[in-house]
Amino acid sequence: MKTTFYFLVLILLLFPPMAKQLKIFDGKPLSGAFYPTDNISFSKELWLSGEFQNKKDSYIKDHIGFRNHLIRLYNQLLFSLFNKPNTPGVVIGEDNYLYLEEYIDNYTGKNFVGEQSIAQITTRIKYLQDYFKQRNITLITVFAPSKASFYPEYIPKRYNRFDNSNYSEFIKQYQKKEILHIDLIQYFNQIKDTCSVPLFPKNGLHWSSYGMFIGIDTIAKKISSVSGVKVSDIIINRPITFSGDIKTPDADVEEIMNLYLDIPKDAMPYPTFKYRNSTASKPKVLVISDSYYWQVYTQNVAHNLFDWGGFWYYSKTGYKQENSNEIKFSVEQAHFQYELVKQNVIVLLASQATLNYFPFDFDKKAYFEFMPQDSLSLNNYYKHEIRNNAVWYKTIVDKARANNVSEDEQLIKDADWMSKKYIQDHETIESKIEKIKAAILKDAKWKASVEEKAKVKNISFEEML
């Protein structure tokens, strides 16, 4: 009897690594960010330091047989028995409505960044709006809805509301400073009770395909009215197709929970679209956004409505189309000034869930590139930046002591030096363009090539220039 028992235990111990080696019973891959530990080669030094043992242990855990099955089984037990997720940030609401905690925190105001911070952001955006307007470029902000503000009734009662939130303060500042914007949060809440088609899924975070249609249609109409360039009408084909076979991203929260069994889902709308006046002149539109723009991008809606200016994901990774090929690039390494001034419209889009990060440092970087270049404005800018940067200001304090002058005097000296250096190192994009145009006009061969390109593209010489 003992021999049989030991034999069974041995089989159980050996079965997971054997299953892994034979690549059987791997199970459905886990969703979410998972970076398995790489294997490590043995060495005397690594063994003596303990690094080999630690990394080898992590490697075996990450690659053991049945790993995916066991994780899903454990997560399922937690969910089914205790109604708890085993995924950081996931919140299970009433009637199994799924959220992420950062969405709720933005809705309730828990992560409110403060009036002063938002006042500084909106001041920079107001300046940029006016700056671009002088160059016939429209800067517009879109406040996209979030599931938390659309379905607050299903949020667990343990989450308390605060007096202020990033959304309420941004709206107040935008209205006060007359900054162009679209408030889709308010609009979605207005149509919630009268719309018969789901605008948000139970099991996912982002707006439904129909919700995306409502949002982009509103944005396109607003762009047409404020930019002077007619955007094609996006029209939904009816009847709208509903399906219980849920598509991405309508169950994106459930997917990262990595359960064994599916949570019951409502059928969701998956409409198709057509475009009217698609031959009209399209505005070149650059969208700087969080993940709410992915559906517009992946379903090729933007390509049919706009001349492709690009999509900057969190203002970090850029995507654009050239000759039907997608180009992915780092925004940090792009020609920032040039990319902005060649647009007709620049859209800053953020859902309520990411307003504590909005506008993803675009305001700071763009303001620095386009701020007034006279000495007084630059001095004031640098004094403000130094005062609001503790590390930078400490260098001023140290310099003041070393130079035996007051902190204010040292601050003025450093700001003056920085402003002079800025003027020396920077040149406006307009002046650069004018210099290149002058060079083209002086060079007969270069000018002739531009004239030839204009004929091929059937546009004026000036436009080609």
Q: How many whole angstroms separate alpha carbon 83 and alpha carbon 273?
A: 39
Using one digit for the tens of pLDDT, what is the confidence trace for 199-237?
A: 999 999 999 999 999 999 999 999 999 988 888 899 999
**What is residue 49's predicted lDDT score, i.e. its pLDDT?**
75
Q: How many whole angstroms separate alpha carbon 362 and alpha carbon 337?
A: 12
Tell me the pLDDT band of 32, cut-offs 50, 70 and 90: low
The pTM of the whole model exceeds 0.85? no
Mean pLDDT of 245-258: 92
CA–CA dist 320, 328 (Å, integer) = 7
What pLDDT is recorded for position 77?
93
Q: 115-171: per-residue pLDDT in tens?
A: 999 999 999 999 999 999 988 999 999 999 999 999 999 999 999 999 999 999 999
DSSP state of 23: T
Question: Would you state the pLDDT for residue 276?
Answer: 86
pLDDT digits (tens, 9 = 90+) for 50-69: 776 776 666 666 556 567 88
Query: What DSSP assignment string belongs to 199-267?
Result: SS-SS-SSPPHHHHHHHHHHHHHHHHHHHSSPPPEEEE-SSPPEESS--TTTTHHHHHH--SSPPP---
